[in-house]
């Protein structure tokens, strides 16, 4: 079996949530505070909130969109915020810029609605991710599949979702498959697994489904 140029080190990841002490009571205030809060806060309410979204039966995958819908009764605004695909961003600041632009357009078009008090405030929180190496290291695709079967969904979120902020616009698994194993076709198939419509457990299974035929070939 083909050996990787460098082994894949699976990381255990734990996210700590910290309350910022900043809130918004209407969409105008959300815009104002979104310009100011830390990137850790923007990350928490977009990339990190996606993991919680997988356990919900309805709603949107980022907290800003969910609040616009549930607390402000602004479904069009919510849909526009939710339409920003986090897979397309290499930095939180770029995502913040598009969130701000979307809110600015709404505030300019509907200034009165933007000032209407929400049913409940939006409380900004920050996400701080702590990582440590696991005992799982993969030197080839077979070992990768075995490790992927055992690691937690938090590790999968770290490597498959938030990884896009740490380097090239892809996930850690695909980057390793392409550059270390020399399997660009497999890397591309894994990259196109939908992180919005699938739970992290389902993502795990779909990655395994893509990899196993290559292991057996």
- pLDDT of 56 reads 44
Read off the pLDDT of residues 86-99 as tens digits, 9 standing for 90 and up.
888 888 999 999 99
Exposed, middle or buried by CB within 10 Å (0-12, 13-18, 19+), for 194?
Answer: exposed
Domain boundary among 108, 126, 144: 126
> Could you tell me the sign of the dihedral formed by the alpha carbons of 143, 144, 149, 152, in that order?
positive
25 or 164, which is more confident? 25
Q: What is the distance between the terminal CA atoms of the chain, rounded to a whole angstrom?
A: 10
Q: Are 174 and 190 in contact (CB under 8 A)?
A: yes
Instruction: Specify the number of domains making up the chain.
Output: 2
Q: Are 159 and 173 in contact (CB under 8 A)?
A: yes
Distance of alpha carbon 108 from alpha carbon 114, whole angstroms: 9
- pLDDT of 87 reads 83
Q: Domain range spanning residue 82? A: 14-126
Average pLDDT estimate for 8-17: 94
pTM exceeding the 0.75 threshold for the entire prediction: yes
Distance of alpha carbon 31 from alpha carbon 193, whole angstroms: 32
Domain boundary among 69, 97, 126: 126
Read off the pLDDT of residues 35-59 as tens digits, 9 standing for 90 and up.
999 999 999 999 887 765 444 445 6
pLDDT surpassing 80 at residue 167: no
CB neighbours (10 Å) of residue 123? 13
Distance of alpha carbon 129 from the chain centroid: 13
Domain membership flag for residue 131 = no
């Amino acid at each position: 079996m083909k050996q990787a140029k460098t082994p894949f080190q699976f990381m255990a990841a734990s996210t700590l949530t910290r309350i910022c002490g900043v809130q918004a009571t209407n969409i105008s205030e959300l815009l104002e505070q979104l310009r100011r809060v830390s990137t850790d806060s923007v990350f928490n309410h977009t990339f990190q909130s996606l993991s919680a979204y997988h356990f919900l039966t309805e709603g949107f995958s980022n907290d800003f969109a969910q609040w616009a819908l549930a607390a402000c009764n602004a479904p069009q605004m919510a849909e526009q915020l939710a339409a920003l695909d986090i897979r397309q961003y290499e930095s939180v600041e770029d995502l913040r810029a598009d969130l701000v632009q979307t809110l600015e357009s709404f505030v300019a078009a509907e200034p009165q609605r933007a000032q209407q008090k929400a049913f409940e405030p939006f409380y900004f929180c920050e996400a701080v991710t702590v990582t440590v190496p696991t005992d799982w290291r993969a030197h080839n695709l077979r070992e990768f599949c075995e490790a992927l079967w055992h690691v937690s969904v938090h590790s999968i979120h770290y490597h498959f979702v938030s990884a896009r902020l740490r380097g090239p616009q892809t996930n850690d698994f695909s980057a390793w498959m392409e550059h270390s194993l020399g399997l660009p076709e497999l890397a591309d198939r894994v990259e196109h697994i939908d992180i919005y419509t699938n739970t992290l457990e389902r993502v795990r299974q779909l990655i395994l489904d893509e990899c196993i035929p290559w292991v057996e070939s």
